[in-house]
Amino acid sequence: MPIKVLDSRVVSQIAAGEVVERPASVVKELVENSLDASSSQVSIEVRGGGVNLIRVADNGVGIPRAELELAFERYATSKIDALDDLEAISTLGFRGEALPSIAAVAEVEVVTCAAGEQAGSYLSLRDGAAVGRGSRGHSRGTTVTVKNLFRRVPARLKFLKSLATENSHIAGVVSQYALAFPGVRFTLLIEGRVGLRSPGSGQLVDSVTEVYGLDVARNMLAIGREPASIPRVTGMVSSPAVNRSGRGYLSFFVNRRWITSRLLARAVDDAYSGLLMQGRHPVAIIDVSLQPGELDVNIHPTKTEVKFRNERIVFAAVQRAVRRTLVEQMPVPGIREPAATYLSPEPGRGTGTVATGRGAIATSGEPSLTPAASLPVLRVLGQLLASYIIAEGPDGLYLIDQHAAHERVLFEKVRRQRSQQEMEIQGLLEPATFEVTPRQEEVLRANYQRLAEFGFSIEPFGDRTCLVRAVPVLLYNKDWVGMLRELLDSLSGEGGGGGEEKVAASIACHSAVRAGQTLSYEEMRQLVRELEQAAMPNTCPHGRPTMIHLGLAQLEKEFGRRL
Ligand code: ADP
Ligand code: MG
């Protein structure tokens, strides 16, 4: 094909791809515009996972009638004049790309009324071009309606995940802004249901309550003020009793811009060192205030990453502020009332030790993994560190990780019961309530049926709470609350695939014996017997080894009996 300059419509569709990746990106850009317009109320409504409809309404300064069409020109912005202005940027937007990008890939209508104007004005666009304009009543502020997102960009549409997943991303974005702007009243309607409603009280703890629930909010510590500290670090962090298996509960803002930052995540993890088990992370909402000149916000089209001029200083300030908060305010264990729902018996005590132990053996002994078909009959010799079963086989020594092995056995059992529709279910004496975040709520909604097939009887109870009436027998008296929470978090990240396996693995993990649990000889024999019969005895459902084999040849080599 000869070289030619692309048609302007194609250019804008390509450019839009950088800003508008999925429905949640549209929500993010529109909400940022509303916040930049000094709104105290922002309402978001989405339908069809945001593909059919996204509507964001605010009570901000509005767009003057004369500028309304200009707002949809590429690189049209009221926020900066020259590149130097970026050195002092205090708004979330500045690239002038969002509105034209959205209009390039969807049908858009804006109704707005600026301060001092008598009547509102509206503009509607198709394929980025204005097709309708005029007057329309509107109170001060702006309402942007986006319909049929990506209808003309089938390639993008194809890459979207399930409705529940897109909705969970949207709920995630709005949750982050509700945390960053506690003074703004946010309302999120997802498919006609209230997904989130923050009071706009100006108190961060109120936003935390809305997003993460009362039990988390009660266990949050406000970061203490350190007047001299530059940069200033504000926000809240959880007492170590409230912790999570992923980093999904760490929210970072720089000058209230929501960002992702490995640097800051490391600083927070660092501050909790010694207070949390390996692999666990706190809930944290942290805003770093910096002179705008101290950072570059223009390194990413979606503005979700920033570059600090002096990373070391920012890292140290966050690490210190969090550490000091923990040291000064940490509740004395056992005296404060524990959070009833979330503080179920802490599972996995000592899992850190298992990991270290396994690593240590694995590096010194060059163990080999036994292939499934050849797992021989084993004779149990005893238990090591209350975590490993020592067994003898025809060809040397086997060290079995009791938790991983039990996980494998239960995983296969759950899958078998599930496929034969024979899940053993235990009704709870009294139905228990279970709090979910807006994001988890969306995932739960999409998975009621699947969870029911695994033996969970769960129903919505309103106000971000569900009622649990029955659980799989395996989980009765176990930490099924923690299991459900982790499961909902891990399901939310992806589409429909792999869900069955995840539920089964999660049930297995939370009902299996723990490291650190002393087992009787009979219990060990039973477990080894079941492992011998497993279809894939070598690894746990997450792919970690269940056992290490030290063969006769290896032993002889180690003892110098053979060269
Ligand atoms: P940017 O936010 O980077 O300036 P956008 O394309 O998002 O670029 O918006 C273009 C302009 O339209 C903004 O600079 C602002 O002047 C105006 N605008 C957009 N949304 C709103 C809103 N909700 N309220 C008031 N003004 C708005
Ligand atoms: Mg913008």
DSSP assignments along 511-528, one per residue? HSPPTT----HHHHHHHH
Least confident interval from 62-71, 165-174, 417-426: 417-426
127 plus 228 within the same structural domain: no
Same domain, 121 and 29: yes
Residue percentage of the chain with pLDDT more than 70: 90
What was the pLDDT predicted at 9? 79
The pLDDT > 90 percentage for the chain reads: 53
- Same domain as 312, residue 379: no
Q: Is there a domain that residue 234 lies in?
A: yes
Domain finish residue from 160, 178, 212: 160
Ligand nearest to the CA of 114: 1
Residues 218 and 152 in one domain: no
Among all ligands shown, which has an atom nearest to the Cα of 108?
1
Rounded to whole angstroms, the Cα distance separating 72 from 122 reads 13
| Domain CATH code at residue 282 | 3.30.230.10
d(CA 490, CA 486): 6
In the numeric block, which tokens belong to residue 364?
A: 């010194």
Ligand 1 atom with minimal separation from the 94 CA: 3
In a domain, 267, yes or no: yes
What is residue 365's predicted lDDT score, i.e. its pLDDT?
32
Residue 283 scores a pLDDT above 90: yes
Last residue of a domain, one of 160, 191, 226: 160
* Per-residue pLDDT, 360: 28
Is pTM beyond 0.75 here? Answer: no
Q: How far is the CA of 30 from the centre of ligand 2 (A)?
A: 7
Whether residues 132 and 219 fall in one domain: no
Which is more confident, 368 or 480?
Answer: 480
What is the Cα–Cα distance from 207 to 214, expressed in whole angstroms?
10
Q: Which residues form the domain of 241? A: 204-329
Instruction: Give yes or no: residues 527 and 392 share one domain.
Output: yes
Ligand 1 geometric centre to CA of 36 (Å): 8
Q: CB of 99 closer than 6 A to ligand 1? A: yes
Q: Is the shortest distance between the CB of 78 and ligand 1 below 6 Å?
A: yes
Q: Which of 328-332, 422-426, 456-460 has the lowest average pLDDT?
A: 328-332
> Is pLDDT above 50 for 358?
no
CA distance 72 to 67: 9
Q: Which one is predicted more confidently, 39 or 420? A: 39
DSSP β-bridge partners for residue 435: 465
Q: Is the pLDDT of residue 69 over 60?
A: yes
Residues 152, 236 within the same domain: no
CB of 62 within 6 A of ligand 1: the answer is yes
| Ligand 1: nearest atom to the Cα of 101 | 6
Residues 6+ apart with CB under 8 A from 286: 223, 233, 234, 235, 237, 250, 251, 252, 253, 264, 268, 318, 322
Rounded to the nearest angstrom, the distance between the alpha carbon of 77 and the centre of ligand 2 is 8
Q: Ligand 1 center to residue 100 CA distance, Å? A: 10
Do the Cβ atoms of 131 and 125 come closer than 8 Å?
Answer: yes
- Cα–Cα distance, 56 to 110 (Å, whole number): 10
In a domain, 356, yes or no: no
Write down how long the chain is.
563
Which of 36-40, 153-157, 370-374, 450-454 is predicted most confidently?
Answer: 36-40
Residue finishing a domain among 329, 357, 388: 329
Task: Tell whether 353 is covered by a domain.
Answer: no
Task: Establish if 115 belongs to a structural domain.
Answer: yes
> What's the pLDDT tens digit per position in 258-277?
999 999 999 999 998 878 88
For 227-253, give the DSSP string: TT-SSEEEEEEE-TTSEESSSTTEEEE
Residue 347 placed within a domain: no
Average pLDDT score over the chain? 85
Strands 281-282 and 284-289: unpaired
Indicate whether residue 34 lines ligand 1 (CB < 6 A).
yes
How confident is the model at residue 78, as a pLDDT? 84
pLDDT at 498 (0 to 100): 67
The answer to the question of residue 548 being in a domain is yes
Instruction: Please indicate, yes or no, whether residues 120 and 241 belong to a single structural domain of this protein.
Output: no
Comparing 509 with 562, which gets the higher pLDDT? 509
91 Cα–ligand 2 center, Å: 9
pLDDT tens digits for 206-228? 999 999 998 899 999 999 877 67
The angle, 0 to 180 degrees and rounded to 10, between the axes of the packed helices 163-180 and 438-453 is 150
CA of 457 to the centre of ligand 2 (A): 44
Residues 298 and 209 in one domain: yes
**Least distant ligand from the CA of 142:** 1
Ligand 1 within 6 A of CB of 79 = yes
Total number of domains constituting the chain? 3
Judge if 257 and 141 occupy the same domain.
Answer: no
- Residue 177, domain member (yes or no): no
- The pLDDT tens digits of the residues spanning 377-401 come to 899 999 999 999 999 988 889 999 9
| 386 and 507 share one domain | yes
Q: Are residues 133 and 236 in the same domain?
A: no
β-bridge mates for residue 517, sequence order: none
Tell me, what's the pLDDT at 262?
Answer: 93
Considering only residues 462 and 301, tell me which one the structure prediction assigns the higher pLDDT.
462
Residue 155 in 3-state DSSP? helix
d(CA 137, CA 142): 11
